């Protein structure tokens, strides 16, 4: 009996059309916050300095699925093809060439980044790993009155897991890894390990298209990491409130009110210190992480309790609002004859408006700091006949690492010149690499990749390019090649 | 017996789903069918209207009009499933007309939204969901007989923010090439500097 009930429940779920969201909507809110954070960050200059992309954030980049492992290629292709072209982050489908089973995709840097934020919520079951308790840092966990079976059935009913997942035991069972673990998980295709790996290939891969493809992967990962961070600005995610995440009233309200393009800019006045680890932006145990800030000042529908009313305060009339030090409409209340205590507490649209007005600029600021942090360690290159290549470190104090110097031919092909270890360094000259002018005659550009750890022992991957043509304004590989896109869909 | 009944019902529902074609549910349109009519529009379309120069009220020729239908996963999740775009350019009368969503593109997912974007170089672009000036939700978009009034692009306005506002489909990117370059140059000036550049700028100011 239980089996058939689950079946019917699941099948009806396929037909359901209720407004359910999974935290902030990927296509609108998360993508919009990521875009605004990027505009306020150093991303544009870093794309110019590190990859020679003259249009910076607006440089078009190709992703060639034929260069990826087949499973990875299909998975990414399906998820990218699903994106809403009306929001601007769906890549353009280019004409296939011989030997390509999937069409190459093209999008500009900012578009790939925003697409990564949307991809982090697809498939929806990924959001089980976006929870981080603002008090303990723990991930999604079941409440005592919920079993794994009932949670799995509920997740199918809400459309967060599929019937197939339910039958194979892979449906969401009401638990998940903490967001701080998820961002470093090896099975997270948009996590930190994936980002570092893709970044390295974006500099060292032999061909232009392989480097572009790798850079798009790195940008997708960056967007995904930012999306996980941004979810920590949703009260439901930091209060272990799965029901509110699934009901999605707040998230849907924010999506409707701001869309993607109306998300406010990051709060420039908010001081968010650069973290020691990216995970610290989510939860640092000292109250400065976004999850802690959100949890300490905002509630979600599932965590409303009479204890939120300050002791000794009396509520007059038939209804109204409670204020907090952060928002005017913290909580709505109404007189009720049926509820214990004679009143019912809830969140309405005025509360949602105040919450979003306070939270979105703050989330944007955290995302901006996170983006700048992940791309820290700026290098600048200079070449002199007597000293060879000088690599100068601009911002971060770095630990030991490895520097790889590559030469790029006019055809775009890169080859490794040298690889050498570097010692810990403060901003200033990081190292000098002897290079004779004769050795560089066939090359139009130098690129370096530095891989190592920062002063806190955290992994860093960074790079820079130097044009060897006197008058060259660093041509952009993508812009210099024309391709026809497939006819309008 | 009960299990058989459950599975039978399940099979029946699946068959019904298959027989009913691929058309999934359609969300309620947030716009009216026509200006002034109380009738709610349809996300399926068709859509038509006219693009005018705000300052002169004269029709704008060769404005790019892109309509996009976005689908989400069935089951109500706000998780994208697919999208379909059609683009046209306005004629000498400034008129545009987009057909209904073709039957072959009516996916099984929930048709969640339709977005219209209008772009003409030198003008502030138009989105059917939001206004550019204050980024507030737009309430004057209608399905039929829509009037799009484009303002001249104000001097000093950010091209980068304008492009981000509009979003970038392939057609739009093709039409906005010069603005993309302008946005990039603008960011070279205005984007936050790298650490060394900040030091250099401060030193230059000090010596000045």
pLDDT tops 80 at residue A160: no
A182: which 2 tokens? 């998820």
Same domain? A315 vs A422: no
Q: Is residue A20 part of a domain?
A: yes
Test the B interface: residue of A77, A227, A262 with most B CBs within 10 Å: A262
Average pLDDT for residues A243-260, to the nearest whole number?
Answer: 88
Which residues from A are below 8 Å from B81, CB to CB? 82
User: Final residue of a domain: which of A226, A247, A268?
Assistant: A247
pLDDT at A307 (0 to 100)? 82
Chain A's closest residue to B126, CA to CA, is: A261
Same domain? A324 vs A383: no
Q: CB-CB: which of B74, B105, B130 is closest to A259?
A: B130
Q: CB-CB: which of B13, B78, B165 is closest to A261?
A: B165
Same domain? A330 vs A423: no
Q: Is residue A358 part of a domain?
A: no
What letter would DSSP give residue B59? Answer: B
Which residues from A are below 8 Å from B184, CB to CB? 44, 54-59
Distance from CA of A411 to the nearest CA of B (A): 24
Average pLDDT for residues A210-237, to the nearest whole number?
Answer: 97
Measured CA to CA, the distance from residue A152 to residue A171 in angstroms comes to 5
Domain spanning B19-155, CATH architecture: Sandwich (2.60)
Q: Is B160 on the interface with A (CB under 8 A)?
A: yes
C-beta atoms of A159 and B77 within 8 A? yes
Measured CA to CA, the distance from residue A94 to residue A96 in angstroms comes to 6
Same domain? A61 vs A199: yes
Same domain? A404 vs A319: no
pLDDT at A453 (0 to 100)? 95
User: Final residue of a domain: which of A330, A346, A362?
Assistant: A346
Q: Which of residues 104-143 of A touch B (CB under 8 A)?
A: 106-108, 110-111, 118, 121-124
Q: Is A90 on the interface with B (CB under 8 A)?
A: yes
Measured CA to CA, the distance from residue A261 to residue B127 in angstroms comes to 9
A189: left (phi over 0), alpha (psi -120 to 50) or beta: alpha
pLDDT at B78 (0 to 100)? 65
Same domain? A342 vs A437: no
C-beta atoms of A82 and B14 within 8 A? no
Q: Is residue A446 part of a domain?
A: yes
Distance from CA of A380 to the nearest CA of B (A): 9
Q: CB-CB: which of B73, B115, B191 is closest to A86?
A: B115
Same domain? A321 vs A425: no
Q: Is residue A293 part of a domain?
A: no
Triad A329, A291, A355: Cα angle to 5°: 20
Residue B89, H or E segment: strand B80-89
User: Around Cβ B136, how many Cβ atoms within 10 Å?
Assistant: 12
Q: How many domains does chain A have?
A: 3
Mean pLDDT rounded to a whole number for chain A: 87
pLDDT at A459 (0 to 100)? 95
Test the B interface: residue of A22, A23, A48, A87 with most B CBs within 10 Å: A87
Which residues from B are below 8 Å from A49, CB to CB? 194
Q: What is the domain extent for residue A331?
A: 311-346
For helices A2-15 and B2-19, angle between their N-to-C axes, nearest 10 degrees: 20
Q: Is residue A301 part of a domain?
A: no
What band does B125 get if pLDDT is binned at 50, 70 and 90? very high
User: Around Cβ A54, how many Cβ atoms within 10 Å?
Assistant: 20
Q: Is B25 on the interface with A (CB under 8 A)?
A: yes
Measured CA to CA, the distance from residue A181 to residue A137 in angstroms comes to 10
Residues 6+ apart with CB under 8 A from B194: A42, A45, A46, A49, A378, A394, A395
Measured CA to CA, the distance from residue A186 to residue A124 in angstroms comes to 19
pLDDT tops 80 at residue A146: no
Measured CA to CA, the distance from residue A12 to residue B75 in angstroms comes to 9
Range of weakest confidence among A6-15, A42-51, A242-251, B157-166: A6-15
Average pLDDT for residues B25-48, to the nearest whole number?
Answer: 91
Q: Is B191 on the interface with A (CB under 8 A)?
A: yes
Same domain? A33 vs A77: yes
B4-26 residue pLDDT tens: 434 343 333 333 333 344 567 88
């Amino acid at each position: 009996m239980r089996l058939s009930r689950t079946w019917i429940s699941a099948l009806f779920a396929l037909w359901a059309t209720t407004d359910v969201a999974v935290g902030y909507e990927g296509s609108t809110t998360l993508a919009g916050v990521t875009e605004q954070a990027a505009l306020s960050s150093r991303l544009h200059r870093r794309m110019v300095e590190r990859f020679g992309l003259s249009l910076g954030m607006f440089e078009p980049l190709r992703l060639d699925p034929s260069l990826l492992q087949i499973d990875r290629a299909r998975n990414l292709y399906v998820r990218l093809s699903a994106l809403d072209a009306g929001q601007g982050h769906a890549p353009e489908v280019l004409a296939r060439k011989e030997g390509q089973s999937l069409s190459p995709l093209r999008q500009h840097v900012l578009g790939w980044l925003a697409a990564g934020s949307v991809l982090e919520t697809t498939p929806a079951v990924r959001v089980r790993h976006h929870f981080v308790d603002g008090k303990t840092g723990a991930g999604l966990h079941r409440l005592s009155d919920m079993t794994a079976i009932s949670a799995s059935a509920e997740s199918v009913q809400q459309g967060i897991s599929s019937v197939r997942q339910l039958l194979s035991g892979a449906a969401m069972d009401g638990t998940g890894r903490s967001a701080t673990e998820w961002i470093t998980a090896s099975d997270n295709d948009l996590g930190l390990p994936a980002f570092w790996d893709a970044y390295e290939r974006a500099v060292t891969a032999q061909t232009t298209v392989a480097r572009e493809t790798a850079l798009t992967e790195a940008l997708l990962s960056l967007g995904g990491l930012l999306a996980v961070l941004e979810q920590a600005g949703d009260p439901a995610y930091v209060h272990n409130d799965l029901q509110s995440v699934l009901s999605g009233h707040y998230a849907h309200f924010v999506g409707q009110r701001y869309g993607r393009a109306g998300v406010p800019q990051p709060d420039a006045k908010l001081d968010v210190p650069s973290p020691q680890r990216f995970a610290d932006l989510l939860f640092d145990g000292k109250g400065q992480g976004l999850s802690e800030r959100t949890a300490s000042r905002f509630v979600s529908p599932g965590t409303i309790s009479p204890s939120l009313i300050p002791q000794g305060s009396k509520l007059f009339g038939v209804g109204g609002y409670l204020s907090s030090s952060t928002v005017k409409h913290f909580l709505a209340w109404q007189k009720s004859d049926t509820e214990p205590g004679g009143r019912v507490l809830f969140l309405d649209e005025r509360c949602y408006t105040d919450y979003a007005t306070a939270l979105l600029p703050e989330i944007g600021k955290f995302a901006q700091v996170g983006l700048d942090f992940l791309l820290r360690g700026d290098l600048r290159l200079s070449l002199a006949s007597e000293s060879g290549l000088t690599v100068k470190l601009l911002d971060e104090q770095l630990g030991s690492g490895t520097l790889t110097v590559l030469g790029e031919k006019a055809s775009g092909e890169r080859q490794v010149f040298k690889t050498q270890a570097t010692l810990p360094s403060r901003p200033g000259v990081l190292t000098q690499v002897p290079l004779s002018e004769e050795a560089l005659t066939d090359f139009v550009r130098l690129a370096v990749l530095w891989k190592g750890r920062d002063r806190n022992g955290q992994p860093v991957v960074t790079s820079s390019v130097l044009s060897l043509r006197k008058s060259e304004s660093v041509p952009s590989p993508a812009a210099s090649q024309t391709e026809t896109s497939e006819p309008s869909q | 017996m009960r299990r058989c009944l459950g599975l039978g019902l399940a099979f029946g529902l699946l068959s019904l789903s298959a027989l009913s074609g691929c058309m999934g549910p359609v969300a309620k349109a947030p716009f009216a069918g026509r200006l002034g009519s109380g009738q709610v529009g349809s996300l399926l379309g068709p859509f038509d209207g006219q693009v005018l120069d705000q300052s002169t009220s004269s029709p704008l020729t060769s404005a790019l009009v892109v309509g996009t239908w976005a689908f989400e996963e069935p089951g109500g999740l706000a998780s994208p499933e697919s999208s379909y775009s059609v683009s046209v350019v306005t004629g000498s009368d400034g008129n545009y007309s987009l057909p209904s969503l073709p039957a072959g593109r009516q996916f099984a997912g929930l048709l969640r939204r339709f977005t219209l974007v209008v772009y003409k170089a030198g003008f502030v672009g138009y989105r059917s969901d939001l206004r550019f000036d204050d980024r507030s939700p737009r309430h004057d978009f209608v399905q039929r007989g829509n009037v799009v009034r484009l303002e001249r692009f104000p001097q000093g306005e950010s091209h980068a923010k304008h492009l981000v506002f509009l979003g970038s489909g392939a057609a739009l990117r093709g039409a906005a090439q010069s603005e993309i370059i302008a946005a990039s140059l603008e960011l070279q000036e205005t984007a936050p500097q790298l650490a060394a550049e900040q030091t250099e700028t401060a030193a230059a100011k000090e010596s000045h």
